[in-house]
Structure 1
Amino acid sequence: MGIVGMPEISSYWSKSKLYAGSYISSVMTREKFEILLRCIHFRDNSDVDDPLDPLFKVRPLVTAIRDCCQAVYKPGPMVVIDESMVPFRGRSKVRQYIPGKAHKYGFKLYKVCTPSGYTWNFKIHSGSQTKHQGLNSTESLTVELCEELLDMGATLYADNYYCSLTLAEYLLKKKTYLCGTLSSTRQYLPKEVTESKKKKNEMKGRENSNGVKVFKWRDKRNVLTISTVSEHSDQLVPSGKVNRCREEVFKPQSVMAYNKAKKGVDVFDQYTSYYSLLRKGKKWYRKLAFELLTGLTVVNAWVLHCQYFPRAKMSQLQFRVFIVFPHWRRA
């Protein structure tokens, strides 16, 4: 159904010449499919550990998929954190509205991905966030998602929604580095950097005693970045690109590193949009579960396949093994 799109689910069993010849009708009757779709559940409603959990109907499935994603693959030194939206306009306690997204209504997923698009860890937004000492809710969420990567020398790339001076200092104590864009309204930022006026291709930066660096670079607009990577400085370096006048383009190292790594979640969203299986429905848990089963796991399998076998074609058996068995390796 993701490959062959139809306006309605019943169209797959239509005898009209416009929809005739569907492979799905030869596999299963429409009545059987509708019964299975109506009765599908992912947890016994009478067996609930936490009745106040708004995601209790899909909690075992979410936990199993997350554990499998972390067991199959270990990310490298670069990871990126961002959010994705699962479109849903029905009634649900955890439905969000984000006007800047392509799908404005739906479930928000916080993800930790690799630059290649592999989702290593994720969390579904379901209300209040447990705070760490000295951190706000967003900073605590970032630490929770990357908890198993702390003290390993990894570099986390994030946008201005997650980045702050307090988070950068906390991660630096845990031997984890942070690089990303920064909002000028954050606390404890150096005013000589945030309030400075720069011309095009000018840059200014400051570093505090803890090793956190804040840069301001003027391109078409002001770009404020934060970094704890030792290699990043306030000097512009060649980016390997030229402008319309055939002149070499210079950019800050922090901006180039951020642009290179930040594409991870966008690559994932691009892959899932090609053959989406989602259909309109009133059951929120079914929409969320199908996105995880047919979107997240399939894209992760495809990313691993492209990484281990870049020139080989994946058979149907190999594809199933990638998804089902968490300890499958290249051998």
Structure 2
Amino acid sequence: MTKNQQGMTYAQAGVDIVEGARAVDAIKDTVHSTYRPEVVGDIGGFGGLFSIAAAKDMADPLLVSGTDGVGTKLKVAQLLGKHDTVGIDLVAMCVNDILATGAEPLFFLDYVAVGKLKAEAMAQIVGGIGEGCRQSGCALIGGEMAEHPGVMDPDDYDLSGFCVGIVDRPKMLDPLSVREGDVLIALPSTGLHSNGYSLARRVCLDGKTFDEQTAPCDELGGMSVADALLIPTRIYVKPVRSVMQEVPGGIRALAHITGGGITENLNRALPDNVDAEVCLGSWPVPPIVHYACAAAGLTDEEALKTFNMGTGMIFICDPNKVTDVEAALARQNETFYRVGRIVAGEGKVRYANAGGLYGFQA
């Protein structure tokens, strides 16, 4: 008789249902900590339920959705055996995207694929997702943990997520409202966030021993290269939503600076009759970003379309309300920089102060 004819259990095939149940139990408290009053039911159902009663007070409510992953930054987490921050990255990439419309994030769902399910590691991963949801004010109402024996290595995993938010159409941020003379304000990034890691890992980590990757580095203020690469993506929901409420109409449009950098993201917030003129050197570049650019030997032009270069979110502001926007940010103890203006053009990003990218003076 063949092995199949003799019989084989699911566990013998590599999928441990008992460990899966342990993992679900391990994440329950994290999931519950993200719940909002609109959540209906509990973890474990076939679908997540969420009341949209709040929409009844809106003139024209629109649902806004976004999906994303963490990408090869996960390889850094696996290198260090540190899995409690990449979930923040996952949530950040999704909520920051839908935030560009002015939407309030409502709920989040995750998908975790693993080679071999381990309840403790899963609790760390989902713990990070829960932290990201708490920072952004959205509820984690569902997800999937998929074990892929024979497809993925036992210690390998991948993350993806899906977020839904809501915005009232009359209050929606819209690139078509951008005008010549508008002012650009940047909120700083925490580092590379979750983009450009295929390059960053190659030039910063490959060819180095584990001790070299994790040793303190003077160029990074004593932080190791590996730890600096693992700094989680910043979530901008609270400062953006607060400014929208305190200064209605102050922000005309937003650009989330992700893959493609400033060059290929700020243009997404422009109509086709203006350009964004960004003044290089008007904001600081984080040490790990400068380190990665130097290690790769990137020109300024390449750097600006590869990494965020220290700007995670750029506001396009009404010039008549920009001081009110800045005051609102200051009340939240937010760091911000005026980095340029909107000029006549054709929907592109241009740069002033060539050669000054790393020349910020506090």
**Greater RCO, CA 8 A, separation 6+:** 2
TM-score, normalisation: structure 2:
0.23
TM-score, normalisation: structure 1:
0.25
